Structure 1
Amino acid sequence: MLALIRKKLRSEFNFPKNAKRYFGVPAVYSLENVKYPQADGSVCGIRPNLGADAALKLDCGAGLGAATHITGAFAFAAVGKALEMLLEPKKVKAEVVEAHADA
């Protein structure tokens, strides 16, 4: 999903094309590797080979992504970061005022 978001930011919002460039956009994410459902009901880090006809769906309909406590944890983390940003003191740029001796 992160690759799709980066692509959208680059194509629609002119973010830099450099893959190593930091966008400066706060995000909530997990470093955990994807675990795929297997035919026997177990999960494994290896993507199953389903053949050309079948597509592997990792969505709520397939039983993944429906754990509300996980979704809730990510939502709480995102809201926490948003509140931090909103409550952060505003940085005011100091304006330089030149005094003219013409008076």
Structure 2
Amino acid sequence: MPLQKKIFISYSHDSQEHKDKVLKLASLLYSHGAEVFFDQFNLQYGNDLPLFMEQGLTKSDYVLIICSDLYTKKANEGIGGIGYENVLLGNTIIY
């Protein structure tokens, strides 16, 4: 049996509908055997958000970024968690 792939999902909370669609995608990946690092699965109120993002980015085999217009704006302007993830990704991506 092949090893379970670890996937970190990064996305912006554009709307409840958008969050629900990303949840559906994460659930589908999980149902097909992926280990999914995803805020709606793994993050509880009061958890260390920067640590969650750092561990998700560094311990995953893949990073899945859902690039909506809002995500791109936040990444480019360094806003919130997406801005922080963008800095982390910029420091770790191997070309």
Question: Does TM, scored on the shorter chain, surpass 0.5?
Answer: no
TM-score of the superposed pair, with normalisation by structure 2 = 0.24
Structure with a larger share of its residues in helix:
2
Structure exhibiting the larger radius of gyration computed from Cα positions: 1
Structure with a larger share of its residues in strand:
2
- If asked which structure has higher relative contact order (CA below 8 Å, sep 6+), I would say 2
